[in-house]
Amino acid sequence: MGTKNQTNYKSTRSMAFSHQGLVVGNYCHDILLKDDVVLAESLGGAASFISNIFSLFSIHCSYISKVGLDFNYSHSISTPPIISPTSKTTLFEARFSSTKPNSDGSSGSDRTLKRVFACDPINPIDLPICKRFDFGMAVGVGGEIKLETLEKLVEICDVVFVDVQGLIREFDQIDGTVRLIKLKDTNFYPLLPKIGFLKASAEEAQFLDIEEVRKLCCVVVTDGEKGCKVYWNDGEVEISPFSTVQIDPTGAGDSLLGGFVAGLVLGLSVCDAALLGNFFGSLTVSQIGLPKFDPKLLQRVKDEVQNRSLQCTQHQVGDRNKCRFSKPLGHEQFYETLNAIRRAFYIPVQEYNTDLPDVHHKQTTSTLNHCTKHHCS
């Protein structure tokens, strides 16, 4: 493990109770369709899901995002985005088919993701000047993270978390369909030794070469109902999932990453923080769009995280870096406690109504038609 790599890992230990964070990634308009019927539209983009988690734990960050004059959710965010007068807000369509078969031949649903509009990219000059941050997050979704912007983020932040989707996504110039390319084929690859954590989905991980990337930075691979797995130079560990009924997978990985970073900021070990990430990821997929959380559930989670952080501090002995990544004493109990909290506030799936009221359906369809009429390549 290289010297810089060790520095990035160790710097996570000094993040406890720090509130100096910088999140870089555009807000989006998300439209969810099933069998060509609009189910919902909502505020999207990784920054929205992450800020949703951070606000629960009073983690105050600066958010750098760009939107167009058509942005519909200014009332829903605490930090005003940069307004681009020359481009529309990034718009994604997530299309599902209830008849498309799964890979095993069974019937199920499959998502096709398309970028309809792309807002302007975020430039280095858009980041704060003459200010340092304890941690930074590069969470692009629509091609808005430029190489020089990530270089600047690394320069002004002690530890950087990167969602690899912002680095390896390419978009069809005609229909906006998303495809992935190998990380090694991008200009971002040489920056890996300078970042602390790289988050990827199981699908995205196939484009990384985990065995090589883990030598350069810590990698968190999310795998839906299987939870996630954490890789570092000389070890790896599986983090247990939380059982849930999936309604909409949009934003699950973003919420997981937000919960993970929040856990580190609040003093949890890497494994405990990843468990907290799994917890919020499971809550997110059980709702459509940006999730809303029960205040009583949140209070119990915050109390448990605080107690767990104190326990982790008391039990750190020996090689602190090794302890930071290995499952600490009481990890399974922490899982059982979070699971019990989740069960206590669980809403059975039959109580969800994915067939939205007619009035809302008319509103979303109208918005979609408006967007389609103004489609730009």
Q: Which domains does the chain have, with CATH numbers?
A: 3-96+113-346 (3.40.1190.20)
Please give the pLDDT value at position 314. Answer: 56
Please give the pLDDT value at position 12. Answer: 52
Residue 254: active-site member? yes
Provide, rounded to the nearest whole percent, the portion of the chain with pLDDT above 70: 80
Q: What is the rounded distance in angstroms from the CA atom of residue 145 to the CA atom of residue 154?
A: 13
pLDDT digits (tens, 9 = 90+) for 109-119: 467 899 999 99
Residue 116 burial (CB < 10 Å; 0-12/13-18/19+)? buried
pLDDT digits (tens, 9 = 90+) for 25-82: 999 999 999 888 998 999 999 999 999 999 999 998 999 999 999 999 999 998 899 9
**pTM confidence score:** 0.86
Per-residue exposure over 251-282, b if at least 16 CB sit within 10 Å of its own CB, e if not: bbbbbbbbbbbbbbbbbbbbbbbbbbbbbbbb
Please give the pLDDT value at position 8. Answer: 55
In three-state secondary structure terms, 100 is coil
Measuring CA to CA, how many Å separate 60 from each of 66, 145, 220, 221, 266? 19, 22, 23, 26, 12
Residue 270 host element (H or E):
helix 270-285
Q: What is the rounded distance in angstroms from the CA atom of residue 257 to the CA atom of residue 171?
A: 23
Closest CA to 72 of 347, 353, 317, 289: 289
Instruction: Give the contacts of 153 (CB within 8 A, at least 6 positions apart).
Output: 22, 24, 127, 136, 138, 160
pLDDT digits (tens, 9 = 90+) for 204-249: 999 999 999 999 999 999 999 999 999 999 899 999 999 988 888 8
Lowest average pLDDT, out of 32-41, 101-110, 336-345, goes to 101-110
Average pLDDT over residues 130-135: 91
Closest CA to 236 of 300, 327, 308, 167: 327
Handedness of CA 344, 291, 165, 100 (dihedral sign): positive
Lowest average pLDDT, out of 188-202, 208-222, 288-302, goes to 288-302
* pLDDT of 9 higher than 80: no
Please give the pLDDT value at position 278. Answer: 98
Other CB atoms within 10 A of residue 71 CB: 22
User: Which residue in this structure is represented by tokens 């699908």?
Assistant: 203
Q: Which of 158, 163, 248, 254 is catalytic?
A: 254
Provide the total of helices (H) and of strands (E) in the chain, helices listed first: 12, 16
DSSP for residue 293: -
Instruction: Show the tokens assigned to 284.
Output: 């997110």
* pLDDT of 138 higher than 90: yes
